[in-house]
Amino acid sequence: MSLNYYLGCPQWQHPRWKSILGAPERQPLALYAQTFNTVEGNTTFYSLPDPRQSERWRQQVPDHFRFAFKFPRQISHDAQLANCAQETSRFMHAMQPLMDVCGPFMLQLSAQFSASQLDSLWRFLDALPEYLAIAVEVRHPDFFAKGESERQLNRGLLERRMSRVCFDSRALFSALPDDEATREAQRKKPRLPVHILDPVECPMVRFIGHPQLEKNTEFLRPWATKMSQWLAQGKHPYFFVHMPDIGDALQLTQLWHELINEVSPVAGAWSLPPKAEQPQQGLF
């Protein structure tokens, strides 16, 4: 693998991936990390690993791999960033064995976290260790109205050299909800405008795909152009690929990288193991 950006999925294992990634007798994370160079750390949103588990994860990934762990929901959702110093310290302790392979930590705020709470966001971020890279995902309509609330958010993040996660669910919501996986994804995922905070070192995009693989091309092409621009500027972007049925995500990563290679001479060489490129029955 010689990617010049970070490409990954929201998790590192799925039953259908074993036959695609090969060597199913290996640990799922080690197997995944042979093909991808990053992963969303959704696991920490729900529960913390103990340091011994973190050490085992560290042993399974190469030095160039990057985790993008989420802050626990007790911090971001339950406490709404208030009076959570103890929980934050516990999270940092659990992550310590992995710090050398941690990319930006994702702070995913709830749809109820509004512009009136921005002071809480700044206090929380300013109390974190300076060496941490942070990417903030907002979901409240205040931050997508192109008004003063959004300008305050963007200014505050830029002053702190932090990223704003771009959550792109347009492809997902362009699909007819005619299967259970798509209906469930459309129920759970937010439907928000696509807003990008450009002048950051590590832009982060979370792309939620259409269940029919080929229909994602029109939504991915603009991202390939934007990614090419970021790479030409020397940035280190992250691109995470989701699908309504996450078992289909690997095929979408292949389609995505083929598109970016058409427009960027510096994206790098990457592909799934050869057998993954064969048509997958039941994909559509």
Q: Which domains does the chain have, with CATH numbers?
A: 37-164 (3.20.20.410), 165-267 (no CATH)
pTM for the whole thing?
Answer: 0.94
> What does the pLDDT look like over 81-119, one tens digit per residue?
999 999 999 999 999 999 999 999 999 999 999 999 999
**pLDDT of res. 278:** 44
**pLDDT of res. 22:** 80
**pLDDT of res. 143:** 97
DSSP string, the chain: -EESSEEEES-S--GGGHHHH--TTS-HHHHHHTT-SEEEETHHHH-PPPHHHHHHHHHTS-TT-EEEEBPPHIIIIISTTSS-HHHHHHHHHHHGGGGGGB-PEEEE--TT--GGGHHHHHHHHHHS-TT--EEEE--SGGGGSSSHHHHHHHHHHHHTT-EE-EEE-HHHHTS---SHHHHHHHHHS---------S-SS-EEEEE--SSGGGGHHHHHHHHHHHHHHHHTT---EEEEE-SSGGGHHHHHHHHHHHHHHH-TTSEE----GGGGS--TT--
**pLDDT of res. 1:** 61
**pLDDT of res. 135:** 97
Task: Please choose, from the candidates 107, 120, 216, 206, the residue with its C-alpha nearest in 3D space to the C-alpha of residue 172.
Answer: 216
Residues with pLDDT less than 50, the chain: 276-284
**pLDDT of res. 273:** 87
**pLDDT of res. 148:** 97
